[in-house]
Amino acid sequence: NAGVTQTPKFQVLKTGQSMTLQCAQDMNHNSMYWYRQDPGMGLRLIYYSASEGTTDKGEVPNGYNVSRLNKREFSLRLESAAPSQTSVYFCASRQKQGATNQPQHFGDGTRLSIL
């Protein structure tokens, strides 16, 4: 049981380039999340998806787009990367159908540097 898998683990981009961060979970969870973690600022929610085909903005959505095409996968896209988007990105999932009080489960992160 792999849990939450994020790819790639590391990436270096030039300003203006685009890329998609991939996330997949095998726990049959309904909800999925994208966070960024910056030094001294904790984790901040970028986007949230309650179920397949639905997405909702979080605290810091500007410069990002997301796609939840199926229950397993939730991708995060940077259309035109900026140095301010240098960060560690975490994907998380939660909540099997009918379960309550369940915590989020996190992937190991993608470390993204934008030059």
Least separation in angstroms between residue 79's CB and another protein is 24
At closest approach, how far in Å is the CB of 107 from another protein? 5
Q: Give the nearer residue to another protein in terms of CB position, either 50 or 115.
A: 50
A 10 A CB-CB count for 62 gives 8
Q: Name the residue nearer to another protein (CB basis): 42 or 98.
A: 42
The strand order across the sheet containing 64-67 reads 4-7, 19-25, 75-78, 64-67
Q: Smallest distance from the beta carbon of 18 to another protein, in angstroms? A: 25
Measured in whole angstroms, the distance separating CA 62 from the mean position of its chain's CA atoms is 14
Cα(80)–Cα(54) distance, integer angstroms: 23
Name which of 12 and 80 has its Cβ closer to another protein.
12
Instruction: Quote the least distance from Cβ 37 to another protein, whole Å.
Output: 9
Q: What DSSP character marks residue 62?
A: T
Residues within the interface to another protein (CB under 8 A): 4, 31, 33, 40-45, 48, 50, 56, 58, 90, 92, 94-95, 101, 103-109
